Amino acid sequence: MVSGALKPSGETAGASLVPSNPTLDNLVTVFTRIPFARYLLNSVLTSVAVTVLLVGFGALAGYALARLRFPGRGLVFGMFFATLLVALPVILVPLFYVVSRMGLTNSYAGLILPVAFTAFPVFLMRQFYLSFPTELEEAADLDGAGYLRRFAQVVLPLSAPMLASLSVITFLATWNSFLWPLTVARDSDLWVVQVGIASFQSQYGGEWNLVMAASLLAAVPTLLVFLVLQRQIIESVKASGLKG
């Protein structure tokens, strides 16, 4: 992909892997042919917003299901977990109907809110808090701390590695999402980068070097995030289902 993005338009796709005359013109052309910077900005805004909401509410709900004792706790968790068995295409039509009736189509709220509350963060954080040492929380009980204060002052700071892992996974998944942004945002000003690339490919599919350049620009942020925080990603997968 890097090789293709750097090849001039006159060089064929089946040529040598190393470009004979590397050029950055393809990367510049992508930004001039379509509002690619706008697509990148939309992806950043939606990915960050969804990540903050999912991680925040996932940590709260996961802690409540792991520590609080209330009737029906197992049933509530089972209902949360059951939603993981339902793929987005199954609920796409009713979800779009609800969003449309609420007047959220063609808006950032429509892009963010319907996908900002899912069961995976709750499941992941619950499994983490089930193995969390209760002795640390008991020390806070001696100071008269309630559940909320205990969570905010003791549990949450010590959950930073898992929260970082969950943030990375959520950000990458949201950045790469295509089906829901394509469905809810008909205005091109709200397109995210994946939808923008699909539109770009349909228009300039014959110019494969430009398509490779657009794909490279979209992949660079996620590759950087993964390379920097790959340890947290691996640890989160290991901790998600081995205990509890």
Distance CA 205, CA 193 (A): 16
Among residues 15, 23, 21, 27, the alpha carbon closest in space to that of 219 is found at 27
CATH number of the CATH domain containing 49: 1.10.3720.10
Among residues 213, 236, 223, the alpha carbon closest in space to that of 1 is found at 213
Per-residue pLDDT of the chain (244 residues; tens, 9 = 90+): 888 888 887 665 555 667 777 788 888 888 998 899 999 999 999 999 999 999 999 999 999 898 888 888 889 888 888 988 888 888 999 999 999 999 999 999 999 999 988 889 999 899 888 888 887 777 777 666 677 888 888 888 888 888 888 888 899 899 999 999 999 998 889 999 999 998 888 887 778 888 888 889 999 888 887 787 777 666 656 655 444 4
Distance CA 127, CA 84 (A): 15
The number of distinct structural domains making up the chain is 1
Residue 16 lies in a domain: no
Q: Which helix (H) or strand (E) holds 229?
A: none
Q: Output DSSP code: residue 69.
A: -
Residue 14 lies in a domain: no
Residue 169 lies in a domain: yes
Residue 12 lies in a domain: no
How many C-beta neighbours within 10 Å does residue 200 have? Answer: 23
Residue 179 lies in a domain: yes
Domain range for 227 is 2-7+22-239
Instruction: Report whether 157 contacts 136 (CB < 8 A).
Output: no
pTM for this entry: 0.84
Estimate the crossing angle of helix 208-228 against helix 36-67, to 10 degrees. Answer: 30
